[in-house]
Structure 1
């Protein structure tokens, strides 16, 4: 990281400048995931649409992004990194312009579709570029800077959105990203002189269709489960279709010579372990984050802007700590760092099991920050651990596979906690409360109890991840000692 000029595949380039360029492009696209959420009420009013309709702006974005990620592994091997990066930025820019100038909700939805495609290409691409250009003993630090962007961008989105909506038209949200996109494109033209090694192969069309139908059905069924429940007919049918098609996809990928995703990455045990820990950690992280703002707004009656500001310090801690934990990873590895991070995540989650209507906001902000401090010691280190186990020619498949499963895990975690919250709310009997309580007190008591139970579910995921990491790394430590004795 401290060298300006590096050589890769015989080409000299400015590695620091290239990092700034790709991280700037990633920041624009990742921030866009949460930029519109605060604006939903205003958009609903202006376009005269319902809540279930406006939520498609996020659902479609995440759905299309999840479908595109498996295809990214193939694209990275067919198109030079510079041109694929510019393609993603231009798709995103087109989506922004369509959203801004579009007169109806259909245009807004189409613009978000293009942005979802750009997102599905961008994150696996920048991770693969970073992992390819940096040596194994430098990857932790480099991925730490990627983690800084991944943490800060979505955290800034709702706060920035709330400010803009207060003083400007909601369509201004789309304009603010344009200068950053253009700056990133200019930087790519100037500094993007190297590329991930290409390997031309024929695209297997059946694999593409199986991937789209399988992952699309699975992600959509999970998103529906948060509103319709896991036992609804529609969710069960889509889950069955998604799982059945994904199994067919896996069987085909293992048989053909030109797979869309090379699933042989799972033959590397360290990579498989890292994907497992990453998925559970994401369930614990994003499921929790999906309901905490709701608790702050409904129980403490804070505005969306204020709830974003309450949680912002924790996101800043996570963002700033990512480069630090990256350096610690390069020095000590993930064997000790990851269990410590998961311990902090569990300790930061546990107090939320005892929240009340009068829990101080400072209490929420502090323990939320502890959670994200723990996450900063887990997500990028566990990803880097897995990728370091792969040969360079399989890294693009590794990043695409890891990001696909992470997308599914984050959707699953959110759906589980949201459905757990709503189903428990419906099942909680009001008769169990004291007869003398007022209607408002009953409602508040039920609400807080439901949130406590949902937070308890998040705590269970944290403990599962922690225990798994302790078992896994203990076994790996034992195996290492046995090999040393033999030698």
Structure 2
């Protein structure tokens, strides 16, 4: 698409309001992506209302990430085959239906399946809107503004998951009055508020979202579609089952993981052999794309790993309310949102390498103290550390994501975006399931015997707290390991700003061709 700084044209050559379109995409996708982590502080509430265990309640997040990850490979085909305006309208309709289904699920353990069904439908829609927005932003902004555009995109990818626990904590604390309206403290409100936003975005999409991506009539390769859904779905299902079944369960954990991996390998082999692949995995042949995607995965795993554990630690160990545990994380969330556009602009000036190295170092330094936290570690100290971690994540995520799109030709953007997002979502799903299971297993292995609960209740409570702390510390140590690996990966990323093939390059002298 040709770019004119004064006029932006759609695929029919008609001018459209780019600012209005971006605003609709941002608010709609933000409300959807918010659902990734919005239940972090609500887990204890869900456990109580539905009368379910911690591991079962955590499925509300792991199943969301699972369905979200499964949809990412499909997004490349959908964005190539279906007009962008139509695709957004369908996705927003699904988002509305999914959130409504979850919000109005009866609070009964026998109806937990309905809650999860709503989460899955919502995740499917987000799995379309999130990568689609990246491709759209790359197409409607000129190359010299690409970093800034992806920085705007980073408000959704970075801020929404980061602010989810804080927003939920505020909602769950007590009833609030906002603009004359009473906001209920029920967990249902966590879904109803974004549902209202999505409904508004759905209506506005008919007027402001335009067709801005080239499409072509390609035939759906049913075999690839089935292999993609089954492969990623079964693989992630195995990790989802770890929290409840443990690593020793062959039928529900080991077998699905192995079977899923085999199907994914078969899927990749088929894509390489096809002239017109369902998802062109050959983008990973580009070393810089693979490195930057790996860096994004590690940053996401380091962020999600600690982020999903902290609310439970603050509530169960410190006895904090949902509001206070959310407020502890709020400065870090705001840090992420403020820095995403800034780091995008910095990428336009100096590229991703230096930003990623510094970002991962900051992330590691902010994570290290979490490995030594105690039951008396102050909330203010945790707030400062968490904000420092999110500062590091912000310096890593958008520059590496922008570079991963820029090292490839523009016509490969849908497949590059699908591959990058698939990798990121698989990483998120795996790390949440992994750390949940690790924490739970360590607690189970170190908890005192039930007899002590009757004989010496105080000692039993103290020993249970010690068991919980051991689980949390190991989880935080794993998050620190991801940050260290990120530093190593960033060292091999190309220096300077990179622009797509066929365009004039303005890069630093240390850039080397791949």
TM-score with structure 1 setting the length: 0.89
Structure-2 separation of matches of 1:47 and 1:185: 31
Structure-2 separation of matches of 1:474 and 1:269: 14
Q: What secondary structure sits across from 1:259 in the alignment?
A: coil
Structure-1 separation of matches of 2:436 and 2:104: 34
* 2:20 paired with 1:17: yes
Say which is worse superposed, 417-426 or 179-188, in terms of deviation.
417-426
Q: What secondary structure sits across from 2:219 in the alignment?
A: coil
Structure-1 separation of matches of 2:482 and 2:444: 23
- What's the CA shift for 1:371? 0.6
Cross-structure match for 2:33: 30
Q: Are the equivalent residues in 2 in contact too, given 1:132–1:395 (CA < 8 A)?
A: no
Q: Are the equivalent residues in 1 in contact too, given 2:68–2:124 (CA < 8 A)?
A: yes
Q: Which runs of 5+ in 2 are unaligned?
A: 176-183, 449-457, 499-507
- What's the CA shift for 1:90? 0.6
Cross-structure match for 1:111: 118
* 2:83 paired with 1:89: no
**Residue 225 of structure 2: which of 198, 201, 208 is its match?**
208
Q: Deviations over 1:287-308 (max 9, x none)?
A: 1212222222222221222111
- What's the CA shift for 1:211? 0.7
Q: Are the equivalent residues in 2 in contact too, given 1:69–1:124 (CA < 8 A)?
A: yes
Structure-1 separation of matches of 2:118 and 2:376: 42
Q: Are the equivalent residues in 1 in contact too, given 2:41–2:311 (CA < 8 A)?
A: no
Q: Are the equivalent residues in 2 in contact too, given 1:345–1:370 (CA < 8 A)?
A: yes
- What's the CA shift for 1:205? 0.4
- What's the CA shift for 1:445? 3.9
Structure-2 separation of matches of 1:254 and 1:369: 42
TM-score with structure 2 setting the length: 0.85
Say which is worse superposed, 260-269 or 437-446, in terms of deviation.
437-446
**Residue 489 of structure 2: which of 468, 471, 478 is its match?**
468
Cross-structure match for 1:434: none
Cross-structure match for 2:477: 456
Say which is worse superposed, 388-397 or 182-191, in terms of deviation.
182-191
Structure-2 separation of matches of 1:415 and 1:448: 18
**Residue 194 of structure 1: which of 202, 206, 211 is its match?**
211
Within 5 A, what are the aligned runs for 1:376-415? 376-415=394-433
Structure-2 separation of matches of 1:258 and 1:411: 29
Structure-1 separation of matches of 2:444 and 2:49: 32
CA gap 1:270/1:417 in 2 versus in 1, 3 angstroms: same
Structure-2 separation of matches of 1:52 and 1:281: 24
Within 5 A, what are the aligned runs for 1:202-281? 202-233=219-250, 234-281=252-299
- What's the CA shift for 1:423? 3.6
Q: Are the equivalent residues in 1 in contact too, given 2:55–2:244 (CA < 8 A)?
A: no
Q: Are the equivalent residues in 1 in contact too, given 2:168–2:326 (CA < 8 A)?
A: no
Say which is worse superposed, 160-169 or 181-190, in terms of deviation.
160-169
Q: Deviations over 1:66-108 (max 9, x none)?
A: 2111111101011111110111001111223334455554443
CA gap 1:482/1:186 in 2 versus in 1, 3 angstroms: closer
Q: Deviations over 1:39-71 (max 9, x none)?
A: 455555555656555544333322222211111
- What's the CA shift for 1:360? 1.5
Cross-structure match for 1:348: 366
How many residues are matched? 478
Structure-2 separation of matches of 1:107 and 1:438: 40
- What's the CA shift for 1:187? 3.0
Give the CA RMSD over aligned residues.
Answer: 3.0
CA gap 1:59/1:465 in 2 versus in 1, 3 angstroms: closer
Structure-2 separation of matches of 1:151 and 1:230: 31
Q: Deviations over 1:191-221 (max 9, x none)?
A: 2233211122110001111111110011111
Say which is worse superposed, 191-200 or 30-39, in terms of deviation.
30-39
Q: Are the equivalent residues in 2 in contact too, given 1:310–1:361 (CA < 8 A)?
A: yes
Structure-2 separation of matches of 1:333 and 1:220: 37
* 2:166 paired with 1:149: no
Within 5 A, what are the aligned runs for 1:421-440? 421-427=439-445, 439-440=460-461
CA gap 1:189/1:46 in 2 versus in 1, 3 angstroms: same
Q: Are the equivalent residues in 1 in contact too, given 2:299–2:486 (CA < 8 A)?
A: yes
Q: Are the equivalent residues in 1 in contact too, given 2:41–2:165 (CA < 8 A)?
A: yes
Structure-2 separation of matches of 1:80 and 1:358: 55
Structure-2 separation of matches of 1:409 and 1:101: 30
Structure-1 separation of matches of 2:472 and 2:45: 27
**Residue 351 of structure 2: which of 323, 333, 354 is its match?**
333
CA gap 1:284/1:60 in 2 versus in 1, 3 angstroms: closer
